[in-house]
Structure 1
Amino acid sequence: MKKIIIRSLLLAIVASLAAWALSLTYKNTKPIIDAYAKQQAKKARKEVLPEASEFELVNIGEQEYFIGYDERGERVGVSIKTKTRGYSGPIEMIMGFDMKGEITGLKILNQIETPGLGSKIVEDWFSKQFIKLKAEDLSFTKEDPQGKVEAITAATISSRAALEGAKGLFGLYGDFLKYLKKVEILKYIRDGSYTGEGGGFSGPIRVRVTVQNHRIIRIAILERQEVVEYWSKVREKIPQEILEKQNVDVDIVSGATYSSKGLIEAITNALEKGIER
């Protein structure tokens, strides 16, 4: 019995030491691994958006966007990353877009497709055929006369996964353009006061927004039918945040989603009336 106890104690000590060693190794190597991953991610962004010399991270919802700027500080495009499902598992890819909506580059970051077949999606000839394509060009040449993407022979599923991933990235690019419209709308608005309407929880919300020197200086509520309990929070928070940020990309008030969205919609619609055509 004593021998069994001693052996058990020794085993527990060895296991504890092994766990400690692994923990120490992880702690010491994690910064190195993280730094390498960061370096590789930056390299990939540069590959798919070669005109950019600097990148700015913007989060829209849970999606990361890296806006690219050239040496003069002018925006040249954006790089976006996504995952799609391949034949053997997930495929991670990154794509760059210019501000005209054309692909500037595509790179497969990680994949476990069949060697010699689906794994060919990492080859230059496959990714380079996406450059300068727009959303309407994304179909296979063998399936659509207007298509401009050549599928890999005997690897249709992997090819289609990359193609669908690219289509999905165009959807995310559309979300990016909507974001820009929200945050940069004031650049194009003439001085003046403009009315707008949005749909609230209980009815329409009407506002008057006054702009001076491309800045919002006043937001007046003209009409609303919202529940007072929720509306008071919305009325206090949203106009103040918009005035502080000088754009309509603000968070909704918890528990008052429809009233929040209705007020933001009304303010946005008012601002759009002042856009120089």
Structure 2
Amino acid sequence: MKKLKVMSLALATLVSATLFAGCTSNSAEGNDTQNGNQTTVVENKSADIVVIGAGGAGMAAAMQAVQNGATNVVILEKMPQTGGNTIRTTGGMNAAATELQATEGIEDSVELMIEDTMKGGKNLNDPELVKVLAEKSADGVKWVTENGGDLSEVGMFGGASVKRIHKPTGGSAVGPMLVKMFNENMDKLNIPVLLETKADQIIVEDGKIAGVKASNKDGEFTIDCKAVVLATGGFAGNAEMVVEYNPALTGFGTTNHAGATGDGIAMAKELGAQLVDIEQIQTHPTVHPETQTMYTEAVRGNGAILVNKEGKRFVNELLTRDVVSEAILAQTDKESYIVFDQKVRDGLSAIEKYISAGIIYEADTIEGLAEQIGVDATALKATMDTYAGYQAAGNDAEFGRESMEEPLTTAKYYAGLCAPAVHHTMGGVKINTNTEVLKEDGSSIPGLFAAGEVTGGVHGANRLGGNAVTDIVVFGRIAGENAAKYVVDNGGNTEATIKVEKETETAKPEVDGGYKDGVYTGTGKGNGGDVTVEVTVEGGNIVKIELKDHKETPGIFEGAEAGVSNEIIKTQSTDVESVSGATLTSEAIKTAVAEAIKDAK
């Protein structure tokens, strides 16, 4: 039988999924009627629940479905690794009236979170969905923690009335932590994730979900199923689709991963699903314009300010993303600088990635920083002194910022160039509070559930930072719970037919390398800074490649480490393809290996 590539998630190494019982046809060659090319038709498969998308919402749904008793769940992911946009999330998870807030004496309530979310979304949000988001947020934090996650700190974010965003220890990025937790649970619960496998069509028979047509490098196949959870994310990575729904965003970059192309919305539309708020597309205000690296809002939440190229503040930095983005676009060159001091850096580990990536200027004095970024030193010094005075007095007389964590007077001083970029698509498939996908007439499509950025209605006209993680956890869990219940109500659970077999063997050389035996080291420039590898040559061939020192993003670098390293070992050459979605890490590994073996011939 054919094999589909999946990921051994806890170890983040490549494995395969052998497809066992449930086959309904033999492999065959057939004509692709759309393009006239020959395509391979792989054996059909079967499952009870197919989750489309291995981002945060999809993996939360799969986890909850199995925890609720589902026995035959499979995830399809078109990218080479799990994580989606979740892996890029740096801030945290908003939640109201949590145990952590109570411990720290923070007075918050479900009602206040609803009020803030509705206000941030300009009251375009679906009030019922917002109510569920807020009511189930604290339990979501508890669930993440109970399943191995870390949300042990709470802080301030734009649009929130109180400290509400729950973050990992030290303020590190929430996304890699979440994806690591999800991956470990995919392994623990034996949930197969078919990587580089694209869902092409959702099949409906007699008005109910009946299966999913999918394809990968081995060919096309169908998975017969009772329920589908649509968790494909938004469409901010599809520039044409963004402009179609919001022409004002022509030419904008994006913070999204390459797979966020709106596939799920297209599939749902084919079934007559209703779309809501589809034109509502959010820009994130603080994105490095050249690398599209997003500075988490926690930088501003922990004390940073924004200054323009004249060295002056121009906005309350903690207003909602749409307001801050608009304010930056009104400045010279439609850009600004995010400015902070050593104390802010020390309190937020996420900043280290920006520094390692070489996109942060630094100096021992404010005047020195002004020279680095090319702004008037007198103006910047006056701005910083004025802000320190406001902070000491507890009153921002110019812009009304209420939370001023630091006076920004501790050397060193730092600045990063930033501009708005397309960040989140608030609109999408319309769902009810059970995450059932609704048609234009308001009826549901039996067996079809959706969660995460593929849906609309939760965030209205503007999403508050920290609410995306709440969205994927809360509604991902609801989708999984209801999909599991739907299966029980419609024939019951079946035995899993798509099983995971881990392949732990290292690749073997397929050609003669002709190198001198030894252990060599080399360095390349990755997404988070330098990547150092150790290359072992035995019997004239490269037999082992190890990443020894790096700051690459967990959940992303592993795919590049396994994929690129194995191909180099097989071919004894660094002239191999990069792993899609982990291009910078892939290129760093290839460069480092090439440097390591340059004297080994």
Compare CA radii of gyration and give the structure with the larger one. 1
Asked which structure has the greater RCO (Cα within 8 Å, sep 6+), the reply is 2
TM-score (norm 1): 0.31
